[in-house]
Copies of this chain bind each other. A is one copy, B any other.
Amino acid sequence: MATIKDVARLAGVSPSTASRVIHDSPLISEPTKIRVRAAMEKLDYSPNFTAQNLANQKTNMVGIVLPLTSQRVVDDPFFLKIIQGITQVCNQHDYLVLLAAGKTSQELLQNVQSMIKRGNIKNFIFTYSSQQDPVLNYVSDQPGINCVLIGKPSDKRERNLKFVDNDNLQAGSDAANFLLGRHFNKLAYVYTDLRQVVQNDRYLGVKQVVDQQTSEQLLCLKLKLDDYLYNRQAFQQLLKNDSQVNGFVACDDTVGIRLQQLLKSSSIAHQTNYGIICFNNSIFSRISHPSLTSVEVFPLQLGERAALLALGLANQEPNFSLIVDHQIIERNSTRN
């Protein structure tokens, strides 16, 4: 394999000049740059990542932080889409992608610490945003680390972090309005963990719609899925009695499909009497029966834009937006 010395010799410059060309130094004249680059091309020279890392004290690598801490995440292909978006952009710009993952927060933290201390990784993309996250706390305390969240920062401390996100508040409101438009007016929001900023934002969006209405018919309950999966009687009470819930906004598709199963197994429930809308429009929405109306949130774009931010390329895009669109995809679960 050709070395920087071979390139310098062929171009008739010193190795340090050749190196400055690689780093696009303003000290080198344009004709020299052209000559050196031609030599690099002729010799099929690739600057060595690790050598560059040492020289620059920075790495052309990006670390993805993936919370494989819950079964729910491991089961959700949503994260593979985000990874796909990130790797696409990184491939285009010659960045390598590292993966930090762990079964527990502690393992994830150790993995990230190792990447910083020993791998000299300076760029991180968090594929989630959650309250009081020890991993994010650690990373954002380190000097010289560039950190991008997919999801909205959860508190003031993090407000200076870069992030991309959907407008989940608006998406929650849109979902609620969609159900109201289909004459489901006793709404329940079904979630698993409101410390996840995305789940909380979607709830606030639903609540906002219900609060703004004057009709007394309206209702907005907040249901933690796990409380009802193992207590079907309590669930049936929600459908009868005072509340008579008839429309569900599920925080994502995996929750939507489990809610659907709960409805199927509830003796009084007949599917068509209940509306369900959920989020992410993943394969789970398409394969469920009846198929689930879902809010598409474009995870591939979330990944791509997060990568552009992490690589410092976002501003070069003419219409770059940190907020990725969302769009309701109607299916059978909301046909009243």
Mark A residues whose CB is within 8 Å of B.
1, 46-51, 53-54, 59, 61, 64, 66, 68, 73-77, 79-81, 83-84, 87-88, 91, 94, 96-103, 107, 110-111, 114-115, 117-120, 254, 257-258, 261, 264, 282-284, 287-289
* CB within 8 Å for A99 and B74 given contacts A46-B118, A284-B287: no
CA distance A217 to B214 in the complex (A): 68
Give the Cβ gap from A311 to chain B, nearest Cβ, in Å: 15
- B64, B107, B261: the one contacting A287 at CB < 8 Å is B261
* CB within 8 Å for A101 and B119 given contacts A74-B81, A75-B282, A287-B261: no
Most buried by B among A61, A282, A287: A287
B118 with A49: CB separation less than 8 A:
yes
B96 with A98: CB separation less than 8 A:
yes
Chain B positions within 8 Å of A77 at CB level? 74-77, 80
A114 with B94: CB separation less than 8 A:
yes
Chain B positions within 8 Å of A101 at CB level? 83-84, 87, 97
Chain B positions within 8 Å of A59 at CB level? 50
Counting every copy of the chain, the complex holds: 2
A80 with B74: CB separation less than 8 A:
yes
CA distance A85 to B327 in the complex (A): 35
B99 with A115: CB separation less than 8 A:
no
Chain B positions within 8 Å of A254 at CB level? 283
The residue on B at minimum CB distance from A287 is: B257
- B68, B114, B287: the one contacting A84 at CB < 8 Å is B68
CA distance A100 to B90 in the complex (A): 10
CA distance A287 to B283 in the complex (A): 12
- B79, B120, B282, B283: the one contacting A80 at CB < 8 Å is B79
Selected A-B contacts with CB under 8 Å, 29 pairs: A46-B117, A50-B50, A51-B54, A54-B54, A61-B119, A74-B77, A74-B80, A74-B81, A75-B77, A75-B282, A75-B283, A77-B80, A79-B80, A83-B99, A87-B99, A87-B101, A88-B102, A88-B103, A91-B102, A91-B111, A94-B114, A96-B98, A96-B115, A97-B98, A97-B99, A97-B101, A257-B287, A264-B289, A287-B288
Chain B positions within 8 Å of A50 at CB level? 50, 53-54, 59, 119-120
A48 with B118: CB separation less than 8 A:
yes
- B51, B119, B258: the one contacting A49 at CB < 8 Å is B119
* CB within 8 Å for A68 and B49 given contacts A77-B74, A80-B79, A97-B98: no
A87 with B74: CB separation less than 8 A:
no
* CB within 8 Å for A99 and B99 given contacts A1-B117, A77-B76, A289-B261: yes
